[in-house]
Structure 1
Amino acid sequence: MLERKYGDRSEWKRVLKREYIQSFFDTEEFKGYVTLLNIHNVREPLFVKYGANSVCIVDDGYIWLQHFPTEGHHSLTTMFDAQGNIVQWYVDICLQCGIDNNVPWVDDLFLDIVILPTGEIFIKDEDELDEALSRGSIDEKQYKIAWKEANKLCKLIANDGFDLMKLSRAHKEMLLKKLNK
């Protein structure tokens, strides 16, 4: 059984005070939902380790912007710190994106890609993908979809061709304007 992750992250207990907005985009550059979680107050910051570096991905004043494309097998979350700097891009490889009760979601296929502003790329949770296949939580076709999508995106990222990353700042500003009206 795949885990369904929702864009509003309403189940996230770490975040004590938040604002949320979403919008549907249908442009030449992107078609799908974009969500913005403006994190005002957290129980405690969240740090993750990539190699020797520790990166704060959630704290007071952070913004998470998530793209849910109508096509493809991925979702992109851009994490901004309180000063508006991009902390990381996080790609969830998924079976599909959809919408339920007006909230976008992904059916997570375990495999993730992290891109740091330095250009470093990390593939995460290969072991979870392998385990899901061996447990029968996913089938061989879904396993191949996950790796095909991850490999395609890694090539695009390495060649500065994953254009969705370039839309993060503009889409964040558009949604913040709507939120602050």
Structure 2
Amino acid sequence: MLKRKYGNRTNWKRVLKREYQQIYYQDEIFKGYITLLNIKEVSEPLIVKNGGKEVCIVNNGFSWLQHFPIGKNYSVTTMFDTQGKIVQWYIDICYEIGSEKNIPWMDDLYLDIVVFPTGEIILLDEEELDEALTNGVIDKSMYDMAWKEANELMDLIQQDNFDLLKLAKDHQEIIRNKG
């Protein structure tokens, strides 16, 4: 069974105090839900190792902006630090995006892409995708779709043609003003 992740992240125990906003947004580039989680207080910071470097992605005062594009097989989370600077973009390859009780969700399909403001791109969790196929959690068509989506997105990012990365700060302002 795929792991379903909700935009409001209510089951995230590390986050002790939060503010959550969401909007449905549509323009010529994006159609779907945009969520903003303002992290007020955490039990402890979250530091991850990506590509050999340690990066703090959760701490008091950080915020996460997440895009749930309708009809696409990815979700983009932009992680901002206390100064409002982008720490990284985290792209989840997903099988499906939807909403339940007006809260957007995605069914995670294991592969993830991390993009740093420097332009560095890292692909994560290939072994998890392989394991899911081996264990019958996903079928071959889902496996192939995940790889196709990840490769297409990495190509767009390398060509500087993946617009959601460029629009993160603008969309953060839109949701703060509308949400």
Taking structure 1 as the reference length, the TM-score comes to 0.97
3-state DSSP class of the match of 2:141?
helix
Cα distance in structure 2, aligned partners of 1:178 and 1:38: 15
Equivalent position amino acid for 1:122 in 2: I
- Aligned equivalent of 1:129: 129
Cα distance in structure 2, aligned partners of 1:34 and 1:144: 27
- Aligned equivalent of 2:53: 53
Deviation at 1:53, TM superposition (A): 1.6
Cα distance in structure 2, aligned partners of 1:68 and 1:86: 19
Equivalent position amino acid for 1:66 in 2: Q
Equivalent position amino acid for 1:130 in 2: D
Gaps of 5+ in 2: none
Equivalent position amino acid for 1:52 in 2: G
- Aligned equivalent of 1:94: 94
Cα distance in structure 1, aligned partners of 2:53 and 2:118: 12
3-state DSSP class of the match of 1:132?
helix
Gaps of 5+ in 1: none
Cα distance in structure 2, aligned partners of 1:23 and 1:176: 10
Equivalent position amino acid for 1:59 in 2: N
3-state DSSP class of the match of 1:118?
coil
Deviations 1:85-141 (A, max 9, x none): 000000000001100011000001000000011111000000000000000000000
Backbone CA RMSD of aligned residues: 0.8
Equivalent position amino acid for 1:51 in 2: G
Taking structure 2 as the reference length, the TM-score comes to 0.98
3-state DSSP class of the match of 1:157?
helix
- Aligned equivalent of 1:32: 32
3-state DSSP class of the match of 1:5?
strand
Deviations 1:2-45 (A, max 9, x none): 11000000000000000001000111111000000000000000
3-state DSSP class of the match of 1:130?
helix
1:45-84 aligned at under 5 Å gives the runs: 45-84=45-84
Equivalent position amino acid for 1:33 in 2: Y
